[in-house]
Structure 1
Amino acid sequence: MKQLLRLLKPLLKFNYSHPYWVVSVCIILAVLSGYYALQLKVDTDIANLLPEDHPNVLALEKLSESVGGETEMLVVINSPSFEANKAFADTLIQRSLDLYYPRYEDTFFKRAEFRRETEFVKNNALYLASENELEEVTQYLEDEIQQAKEEANPFYFDLGDEEEEETAGAENFEDSYNMLVPSEYPVNEDSTIMVVRFFPTGSKSDIKYLEDMFDEYDSLLASMNPQAYHPEMEVRFGGRLKRHLEELTSIMNDVLGSFASGISSVILLVMLYFFFKKYIHYRKGTNGNGSYSVWSHILRMPVPVLIIGVPLLISLTWTFGITYFYLGILNTMTSVLFVILFGLGIDYGIHYYARYIELRSLGMNAHDAVMKTNEKTGEAILVSAFTTAAALYILMFADFRGFSEFGFISGTGILLSLMAMLYILPALLVIFDERLNWILISDEQKEEYTGVHRYPYARTIVTVGLVASAFVIGFSGNLRFQYDFGELEPTFPEYEEFRSFAGQVDDNSKRNPAYIIAETNEQVEEIAGILKERMDSDTTSPTIKSVETLQERYPIHEAQEQQKLQKIAEIRELFKDPFLVEQEDEDLEKLRMAAQTTEPVSLDSIPNYLKSRFITKDGEVGRFVIIYPSVGLGDGKKSIAFKNDVSVVTLDSGKEFHAASTSIVAASMLDLMRTESPYMVGATFIFIYFFMLFSFRSFRWSIIAMLPLLVGLLWLFGLMMIFGLQFNFYNLVVLPAILGIGEDSGVHLAHRYREEGKNSMWQVLSSTGQHITMGSITTMLGFAGLLFTNHPGLQSIGVMAVLGIGMTLLTSITFLPALIQWLEDKDWIRF
């Protein structure tokens, strides 16, 4: 590191000689970078955290190209009058579809779903039944005939077993029929609540479109005056689409809020710390008789913030300008990195500025103080920043984009902050100190403190620290991972109320399907058969509720059409049996109507509500296999289990097909992150150690400098177990970052101690100890802003970071000094 600093010394000299040029050019570059940084948008879809070439991601893209990824907007109409609701809905649909959006030169909505043409299906339901369902209907009718014959026998005695079998058959028929022939309108049980679905023309990622759409819809509903249709009519609109906009708005507000609270608290802390530090040095240097009053020092309190803050803001704008060109977008986890990097980057400025003030207070001129600070503190800053950045860059090797993008942005931000503090901050020191005299320093020459003061209770502190660490290791099995997605998402009362309100109209219990797209109809049949076999064989932890294909219901070829018509004709013959002709039964009457088909049914005549799931954008019958889960996919474990059951289907030919759905992709993301995180943490830890070994060129000192990090990490795990905190796919991202940040304190203390020599630990703590405490606290404040967000996942990042950095700081100012003092007493310290 010394060689690197010597190599860059001409740059430092140029900055000292031409400070105004350096600062001006850097600010101009920052303005240009800032322009592009402001173009960054936030993608809140956690499913996009998988690599783009992941099989399930590619399958989802293929599905979107074939079917389209439609997220509907729901409108719920409520009044005591069904006719009033229907009249309002008919008018609303027409006016909604006419809403024009000039920005797109198109309408806001492309289609609506409301009335379902069920009459046609009632008369042709058996033509749309699967082969198994036709067999069940045939068996059901034959059983009815047999039962009627037996009951006609005067010696008949009912044993009850057959009745249970008949009931089961009737229920199977009822389920299939209700799926094919739902109610004509989507209403609740008493027909007082009605739902209309609208499908937007724009993408849910276009925030401007969503904002304009919802504003326009507010105006439309107000102009229609629902009470004119019925005095008690209430109309609400929303759904997942509106929640998506609310979540994005909430995250942006959280980012701005945490930015304001975190940065303002950091600025205030830095101002107060350097005010007292500099004023105490000034009073000591002048013996209380300085020419500048306290008021002069108070007026200059913002100077340290400007000297440290300007280079930091410049580096941050550079970082996010580069991010715009490299990534083009932020995700939920990286959206808060501006605040985090502010707290991280200011650490290096605090170390540099504090050491400069100390050297100036010892009587050095500005030039010598800059050069000496760069030589001594610069080396520790270089080691710390390179280690932290490299530890973060390791995350880029992860397939999980939550890791890789976090690692790229934060690693780049650390390096640019380092360069700004080493080569822009000195230029500002020259301007404010030498040129403007805004940094008040006593000119009297003073000597450094050379007394000896042992660190007290060294052996006791080391023993307690090691025992506590051993306990944590012993109980580490109690650490848990949070699998419930719902616990990590923000809650929006308005959305929950709307969902509960709209949920009263629930005409389909099948949700969150996964799709597999085949290439031929034969492959569709084979894939469906494999999945049904899995569904039937899994009796311990089933995750598949049903497997459906249109090919199974709608005959494609003429031979299939004739075969199905023949089967329906056989069922009609069964109804001619004398024992069924006279029977009056609701289920039998439905079947009589459903068996009227005598000619092939064209695809165009089938209602959209029934075939829309199976039809491509081009209007053709898609070769889709649709798999419905039997478990709630909000639970990460169940979601992963469903993914494992349906994600990959391998045919006899060896060809593989992958399932597609956002839930499958999210489960794959969670599974990948869970698999990769131990390797990322382990690789980070190993890299930090070897970097320490390279920096100190001593096995002993590399171990000493690493111990605060290791012990602090164990203490963090201990706190998590005590307070019941869990790992999740948000806070695991920051764990490798904590490793990189946590070693910072140990590096600075070890470097300064080696510089000062034996019996200097107390002196090192009174100087560098203050700096690392300030640096860690400012970093914690950068993360602390996340504690007050509405997003539980972002909150967990804040909690993990604050506790982790706090524990590594605590071990650095207690365990590490005690360890060095104890080793020094044993004469085990070597330089």
Structure 2
Amino acid sequence: MNFFTRVILRRAGWITILGSLLSYAGGYYSVQLYKNLRTDIEELLPTTARSVVDLNQVKDRLESIDNLAVLVFSKDTQASRRFVTELSHRLEKAPKDTIASVEYNISKELQFFKERRALYMDLVDLKKVRDYVRDRISYEKSLYNPLTIFSSQNIPEPRLDLMGLQKKYDGKASAYSRFPGGYYTTPDETKRVVLVNLPGNASGVAGTHRLKDYVVRTIAELKPESYAADIEIKYTGGVQNNIEEQSALIADLELSTVVVMLLVSIAMLIFFRAPRAVFALLASLLMGTVWTFGASYFAVGYLNANSAFLGSIVLGNGINFGIIFIARYLEERRNYKEHSHALDQAMTHTATSTWTAALAAGLSYGSLSLTSFRGFTQFGIIGLIGMVLCWISAFTLLPAFLTLLDRMKSLGPKQNYQHSKIAGWFAEWVSRHSKLISFASLALTVVALGTSVKYTPKILETDLSRLRNKESMERGSGYLSKYVDEIFNRYLSPMVILPKTREDAIKIAEALKKKQAEEGKSSLIASVQTIDDFIPKDQPEKIAVLREIKKLLPERIFVRLPKVEQANAREFLTPQAMLPLDLKDLPGLVLTKFTEKDGSVGKMVLVEPPLTQETLDGNNLIHFIRDLRTAADAVSPGTPVAGSLPISSDMIESITKDGPKATLFAFLAVVILIVILFRKLNTIVPVLTALLMGVIWLGGIILGFGVKINFLNFIALPITFGIGVDYGVNIFQRYREEGGQNIVKVIGDTGGAVALCSFTTATGYASLLIAQNQAFVSFGLLAVLGEVTCIVAAIVSLPALLLTFSRRRV
């Protein structure tokens, strides 16, 4: 009897007490860890990533970088107008740390620019108008001059394409003048929106909820139904997106954990038919899991969108060591061995294989931590901790629990289980068809390798909207965003370029406008704006020209014009257009857009991409962001370029760089571990053969069926190495114990437990398939496929190949 068995038999009670105390502490810190759940997509990138650094700088400098869009639907347009006005007035009174500002109407701004529209015309066009007015007056005088009435000389009539000029400038203003009455609304006014801007220093979970709660409370106080019976209020925008994604993530975590525990418990009871032993197994697993997340609180401090769902994964993976242990323990008890003997046999004969599996899985997880991508790093650290601590709990708490339970009442079962017969039938089937199975396995491997020619960079998912909460995209904020697009017809969250001076902002904007003109319709730059675009150029010259025009049109000539032309002329030659316009004269809404926290104005460039699908192409997006950064850095190196698109671009590049690296690290770590632990080539080759077949088949499925790889499901590839080798190790370790003679007996005795390990692991992954978060679903699908290919390779293909080659030697 080994030393550890004797310690556990003598000190089972103390081990249980110590484990319980550690579990209490682990549970407390696990709760603290989950309280610090950060779902922002930038939390997945390295802290040194350009987009993350830039975004943090922009948050520090700007008052607001996100908003809640309050959509108001009603066919009673007058009622909805009153409601929106009253709501906005009340929201404007909110504390500035809750709501930075409110936007709903730009009528004052439209009037401001309308009164000065002549100043915003190009100087050359103004001169054309002046020359036309002068020539027209001269023409009219000549036409009605008594001395020229009977002249045979043909007087050419001056012409000016007034319609062309009007279209030119109406087109420039169309993005703003399209709103009836200046309200943010559709042309028929049945859909309205109020933009409630979130303070830049309140962009966390608490800040978004505080803003949303304030808005909901204010709307409830207004009683929308009292304005119109059909009025509907909906929410979208960045704030609502964050709230929906956060709540859906938490709901998915709770559901997946419950589903895993329920299905795993049922599977254990059906397979072992020993309720008390299963209770011991599940109790030790739960304790190992809370140890994991308690320790992770000190190792990582918080959870991101990738690591948040590791609870169900650790449960599904971590139970494997206990399953192998308890299967061997109950096998000994079925042979009427005493508890002490059965415990010693289980610990002696399963420690190496399970520790190898734990290390392999842990190293595969750990390989992710060698990358800079935080979506991989944090996942890898917690996964590694989980595999080690779950193995420790399986070989300390589980035998201690079994010892205490056996003292109360013997755990020795009186009957063989039906699953042993099933395993025996399966083993006979593999034996009878070993040649066919071997041929099919090798053929599948060749076919899977052949799909490598289908590899293309487009295998990476670049449309992050496909990875969002399904309900949000079908009925919630993601779905409702189309109404905001309908109202504004432009990208509402532009990228922000934030140089240190206004002069640099002007230079960067000029460079981008030049590039936009060079690329034409294919450009991903739809709009470039600075505060200086709202300050007319050549003002002294323009004002001089306007005064010339006014001088050419004295009242006696003015009154002779047709009524329509008189109205146009009065709107054109306003008193305001005759005065120079400075930065401080601009409307508050315009100034606010370009004002920083320190009060400085104009050190900002806003860049809008088109409302098309072009930015969803990975290569297009990467080149687009590089162009923006190149233009900004050429003027002022390190200028922040912030927004959702730079984050998406860096995400693609980071996965492309770190994904293969993590996969290679995981593979090398597993190979080195197998070589060190088993040393002999006749053991190493079969174990790695089973692993490689499973992984190659998985790769064939991905490439053959065009499964998209994203920032989350890429993790399934490296961890498949660690989890997948588990099954081959357990099968071959038992085969070696049997003297390498009877693989059929090994399948009958161990195959069932190995299959159960795979089932529990796959259950942990499959629980994510019912999640609303589509990134979770994509990971669950790929991980389940990896489980299926690896378990088939381990308990079907590997035994068949061993049988085939052993028979050939005979």
C-alpha separation in 1, matches of 2:773 and 2:197: 28
Letter aligned with residue 268 of structure 2: V
Show the counterpart of 2:717: 735
C-alpha separation in 1, matches of 2:733 and 2:104: 72
Q: Mark the CA change 1:224 to 1:150 in structure 2 (over 3 Å): closer, same or farther.
A: same
Q: Is the 8 A contact 2:690 2:725 kept in 1?
A: yes
Letter aligned with residue 104 of structure 2: F
TM-score w.r.t. the length of structure 2 is 0.86
2:463 matched to 1:484? Answer: yes
Paired residues for 1:139-288 under 5 Å: 141=129, 170-178=166-174, 183=179, 184-200=182-198, 207=205, 214=212, 217-230=215-228, 233-275=231-273
Paired residues for 1:400-799 under 5 Å: 400-433=373-406, 435-441=407-413, 455-478=431-454, 480-489=459-468, 490-492=470-472, 493-495=475-477, 498-501=480-483, 503-506=485-488, 509-539=490-520, 541-554=522-535, 564-573=539-548, 591-593=572-574, 596-603=577-584, 605-630=585-610, 631-632=612-613, 635-637=616-618, 638-649=620-631, 655-720=637-702, 723-799=705-781
Aligned length: 768
Moved more, 768-777 or 234-243: 234-243
Q: Is the 8 A contact 2:67 2:197 kept in 1?
A: yes
Paired residues for 1:277-316 under 5 Å: 301-316=274-289
Indicate the SS of the match to 1:596: helix
Moved more, 739-748 or 327-336: 327-336
Q: Offset at 1:707?
A: 1.4
Letter aligned with residue 610 of structure 1: V
Indicate the SS of the match to 1:455: helix
C-alpha separation in 2, matches of 1:627 and 1:681: 37
TM-score w.r.t. the length of structure 1 is 0.84
Q: Mark the CA change 1:224 to 1:673 in structure 2 (over 3 Å): closer, same or farther.
A: same
Letter aligned with residue 599 of structure 2: G
Letter aligned with residue 570 of structure 1: V
C-alpha separation in 2, matches of 1:361 and 1:587: 101
Letter aligned with residue 377 of structure 2: S
Greater share of residues in helix: 2
Indicate the SS of the match to 2:672: helix
CA deviations over 1:527-550 (Å, ceiling 9, x no partner): 223323332333584211222222
Q: Mark the CA change 1:710 to 1:205 in structure 2 (over 3 Å): closer, same or farther.
A: farther
Percent identity of the aligned residues? 23
CA deviations over 1:794-824 (Å, ceiling 9, x no partner): 1111111111101110111121112222332
Letter aligned with residue 538 of structure 1: E
Paired residues for 1:87-98 under 5 Å: 87-98=82-93
Q: Is the 8 A contact 1:122 1:181 kept in 2?
A: no
Query: Unaligned 5+ residue runs, structure 2?
Result: 144-153, 417-426
1:115 to 100, 105, 109: 105
Indicate the SS of the match to 1:547: strand
Paired residues for 1:812-823 under 5 Å: 812-823=794-805
Q: Offset at 1:217?
A: 4.4
Q: Mark the CA change 1:610 to 1:191 in structure 2 (over 3 Å): closer, same or farther.
A: same
CA deviations over 1:662-692 (Å, ceiling 9, x no partner): 2211221122113321222122112211221
2:356 matched to 1:383? Answer: yes
Indicate the SS of the match to 2:301: coil
CA deviations over 1:444-492 (Å, ceiling 9, x no partner): 9xxxxxxx98933333322221122111222233353333222222243
C-alpha separation in 1, matches of 2:309 and 2:526: 40
CA RMSD, aligned part only?
Answer: 3.6
CA deviations over 1:124-162 (Å, ceiling 9, x no partner): 3566x5xxx63464466378669969998958699x9x9
Query: Unaligned 5+ residue runs, structure 1?
Result: 1-5, 101-105, 276-300, 445-451
Q: Mark the CA change 1:317 to 1:801 in structure 2 (over 3 Å): closer, same or farther.
A: same
CA deviations over 1:743-766 (Å, ceiling 9, x no partner): 111111122222221322111111
1:52 to 24, 47, 54: 47
Letter aligned with residue 51 of structure 2: N
Q: Mark the CA change 1:738 to 1:24 in structure 2 (over 3 Å): closer, same or farther.
A: same
1:67 to 62, 77, 99: 62
C-alpha separation in 2, matches of 1:607 and 1:233: 32
Moved more, 86-95 or 754-763: 86-95
C-alpha separation in 1, matches of 2:799 and 2:134: 92
Q: Mark the CA change 1:677 to 1:578 in structure 2 (over 3 Å): closer, same or farther.
A: same
Letter aligned with residue 445 of structure 2: S
C-alpha separation in 2, matches of 1:68 and 1:61: 13
C-alpha separation in 2, matches of 1:811 and 1:213: 54
Letter aligned with residue 624 of structure 1: M
Show the counterpart of 2:150: none
Q: Mark the CA change 1:485 to 1:766 in structure 2 (over 3 Å): closer, same or farther.
A: same
C-alpha separation in 1, matches of 2:580 and 2:761: 75
Show the counterpart of 1:34: 27
C-alpha separation in 2, matches of 1:244 and 1:619: 28
C-alpha separation in 1, matches of 2:729 and 2:758: 13
Show the counterpart of 1:295: none
C-alpha separation in 2, matches of 1:227 and 1:461: 69
Letter aligned with residue 501 of structure 2: T
CA deviations over 1:69-91 (Å, ceiling 9, x no partner): 44322334455565544433343
Indicate the SS of the match to 2:307: coil
Indicate the SS of the match to 2:193: strand
Q: Is the 8 A contact 1:121 1:180 kept in 2?
A: no
Letter aligned with residue 173 of structure 2: Y
Show the counterpart of 2:14: 21
CA deviations over 1:690-726 (Å, ceiling 9, x no partner): 2211121134432221112211122223344565533
CA deviations over 1:365-421 (Å, ceiling 9, x no partner): 333333332222100111111011011101111122111111111111111111111
C-alpha separation in 2, matches of 1:749 and 1:758: 11
C-alpha separation in 2, matches of 1:812 and 1:429: 29
Q: Offset at 1:265?
A: 0.7
Letter aligned with residue 693 of structure 2: V
CA deviations over 1:228-278 (Å, ceiling 9, x no partner): 445555544554423332222222112211211222011100111111xxx
Indicate the SS of the match to 1:716: helix
Moved more, 241-250 or 384-393: 241-250
Indicate the SS of the match to 1:647: helix
Show the counterpart of 1:3: none
Indicate the SS of the match to 2:462: coil
Q: Is the 8 A contact 2:495 2:607 kept in 1?
A: yes
C-alpha separation in 1, matches of 2:127 and 2:322: 82
Q: Offset at 1:733?
A: 1.8
Q: Is the 8 A contact 1:643 1:667 kept in 2?
A: yes
